[in-house]
Amino acid sequence: MKVIEVTHPIQADQYITEPVAMAFGFFDGMHKGHAKVFETLQQKAEANNLKKAVMTFDPHPSVVLNPEKKRTDYLTPIDDKIEIMDEYGIDYCIVINFSSKFADVLAETFVEEYVLKNNVKQIIAGFDFTFGKFGKGNMMTLDQLEQCETTIVSKQEIESEKISTTEIRKALKEGNLQKANNELGYHYRIKGTVVQGEKRGRTIGFPTANIQPSGDYVLPKKGVYAVSMNIGASDKYYRGVANVGVKPTFHDPSKAQIVIEVNLFDFKEDIYGERVTVYWHHFLRPEVKFDGIDPLVEQMHKDKDQAKYLLAVDFGDDISYNI
């Protein structure tokens, strides 16, 4: 996949020169609603013998347009988004820097400079896609173009509720991991690097890997989770328990930073510096302050047992002996 990073105004050598079907959108999360857009893109490209292209934006438009409610953390930071697009078999990905200058581009200019000059023959986007200064351009605007055919992807729903990035973010922050993963269509994931921590876990029988996220991810609600994890380039999934929070048993919550710690089951390797991916399967409980180490350790054993059972179900293990 060729990635074209554009800062307005787009340069002559950045245009796509062969005919394409192009999907437009921010696509944070690459969730089931977005999957429908990419499925439609695939169909239109194959039917018309076109290459597949995507136009997306970075950072989120709210950084410029609504600074009081700006969105600076993401379900899929730009590198993750590009990686998933590559897995979809996209040929071209145009990433437009959403700056103040770009926000001032008129809808008519966007159509001319960013759509028509990019050799777009098929346009695919969600029903709520808007563009141009003050969001005056929309899918009906594009549908009037004679040079292109426009396909509007309707809203996708689960149990009569629209699948949306906003709802997934809300579910994660409320600890409703089941809903978030269901709407994503995969287990939420955070990539990062294993860094040095306080090393307190090893003194109480629960050594943990401290994960420094590699991007501006949406962090799940503070609490304890059943997770799996890849290490380096390996496709092996290690199972474990993760804690997201400030460790209030040991720290003043008002002063401590939120950290991600993962205790892998039956794992004793040194993995400092390794790049890892944490997959979030189940929310077990909120983070709480314990009256000392003993009740904390007792609860951690319970968390571990619960996580082992839930992950065994997820991975399709024979759990009949536990029932």
Q: What is the DSSP string of 91-128?
A: SEEEEEE--HHHHT--HHHHIIIIIGGGTEEEEEEETT
d(CA 287, CA 224): 6
Q: pLDDT tens, 83-97?
A: 999 999 999 999 999
Contacts of 317 (CB under 8 A, 6+ apart): none
Q: pLDDT tens, 140-193?
A: 999 999 999 999 999 999 999 999 999 999 999 999 999 999 999 999 999 999
Q: What's CA 113's distance to the chain center, in Å?
A: 29
Average pLDDT over the chain, rounded to whole? 93
Share of the chain above pLDDT 70, in %: 93
Domains of the chain, with CATH numbers? 2-158 (3.40.50.620), 187-322 (2.40.30.30)
Nearest CA-CA partner of 188 in 177, 199, 201, 196:
177
Q: How confident is the model at residue 249 (pLDDT cuts 50, 70, 90)?
A: low
- Quick check: 260 pLDDT over 80? yes
Q: pLDDT tens, 294-321?
A: 888 899 999 999 999 999 999 988 765 4
d(CA 144, CA 316): 50
Q: Under a CB-based contact definition with an 8 Å cutoff, are residues 129 and 90 in contact?
A: no
Residue 61 has what pLDDT? 97
